[in-house]
Structure 1
């Protein structure tokens, strides 16, 4: 019985997060009410408050979820520049196909820039890039004169701006193409010419996303 209750509680929690993601993706943090979340989730307000004490708590969980890409980096046997290229394309796919990622990114931008300024998510992304680009530079894939911390910061800012622009212009239909453009233009300025053929701006074939689900 206890296990069954735990399973039902987790199902309810996930439904609430899905409902919150739908609302936040549509209306942002300030434009979303807990009534919107309850309506989208198909639960009672009592159930919502049992799992989440506030709208901000819901937003924090969704923001944390999309940062979890960091957890995959230590499992990569040999992280490097191509790892970062692939991660940007994986994030692009997530933004196009996963409403919880879309909501999390929107909340990161709102919280990090306007509503409640918080650099933590951006710093986490920068740290992920730094952890991959440092060994890349050590093995000669990045010019030794470049500051890897500054490069990581630039990449996070560039990707953030690209995905926002893509959303406004095409609802992210062209996002993979624009991310590819980023790498096509950037790679010659950071990679020694004799190493250029090692990197694939479109992402490695094994990281190609499956067909989008809507």
Structure 2
């Protein structure tokens, strides 16, 4: 007869195996969904095709992702976490607003090349869509959270105007950036110059007079 400890250990092993399998399925669905979105766009992405390519039934997709939009929301958060990690390392060397904002813009723009133009624009376009899943927790928006911290610190040091809400400024700055990148406005002419002008305009408006 199996001992109680052996039963518990076997149960833990089975539970751990199931969790590992669940995470593997979720990761597979995530990757396949991004491939489908890159091919057909968000509106044209077929959940049935995603499920079939991932080797699961359609309902399994919805178990992991309530909507196709949730796939892009998760992708964006993953990208933001990577960018914030890079910015945090840079902040230890140079934490002035213009340097941080310029680097942030460069990193977000570089994500387009990693993700592909279609997926990148579909991801950013969700910020201006009524179908974007509601997420009120600031922790779900690490890039905004980071920028708010930079702006608040600059206010305390007297480097930028102190009568504005750092959270409102961060939302304004990121919304403007996402609009430029999502619409492709920066793709014509000299994109780097346009983004640099955007940063300079923002910084100029924040300067303490």
Contact between 1:38 and 1:44, CA under 8 Å: does it hold in 2?
yes
Contact between 2:101 and 2:199, CA under 8 Å: does it hold in 1?
no
The structure with higher relative contact order (CA 8 Å, sep 6+) is 1
- Normalised to the residue count of structure 1, the TM-score between the two structures is 0.63
Unmatched tracts of structure 2, length 5 or more: 1-13
Are residue 89 (structure 1) and residue 106 (structure 2) matched?
yes
SS across alignment from 1:30: helix
Mapped partners of 2:186, 2:180: distance in 1: 10
Match of 1:45 in 2: 56
Contact between 1:64 and 1:104, CA under 8 Å: does it hold in 2?
no
Larger radius of gyration: 2
User: If each structure's helix is expressed as a fraction of its own residues, which one has the higher value?
Assistant: 2
Q: CA RMSD in A?
A: 4.2
SS across alignment from 2:43: coil
Mapped partners of 2:192, 2:132: distance in 1: 30
Note the alpha carbon deviations across 1:34-81, whole angstroms, 9 max, x for none: 234357xx4313499288355445344324323324752555436441
**1:105–1:180: structure 2 CA closer, same or farther, 3 Å change rule?**
same
SS across alignment from 1:114: coil
Match of 2:173 in 1: 155
SS across alignment from 2:149: helix
Are residue 67 (structure 1) and residue 90 (structure 2) matched?
no
- Normalised to the residue count of structure 2, the TM-score between the two structures is 0.64
Note the alpha carbon deviations across 1:126-166, whole angstroms, 9 max, x for none: 33211111112222332334443332222012101111232
Number of aligned positions between the proteins: 188
Contact between 2:37 and 2:119, CA under 8 Å: does it hold in 1?
yes
**1:155–1:69: structure 2 CA closer, same or farther, 3 Å change rule?**
farther
Alignment map for 1:58-207 (pairs within 5 Å): 58-69=71-82, 71-72=84-85, 76-77=91-92, 79-81=95-97, 82-99=99-116, 103=119, 106-107=122-123, 109-110=125-126, 113-116=129-132, 118=134, 120=136, 124=141, 125-166=143-184, 170=187, 175-191=191-207
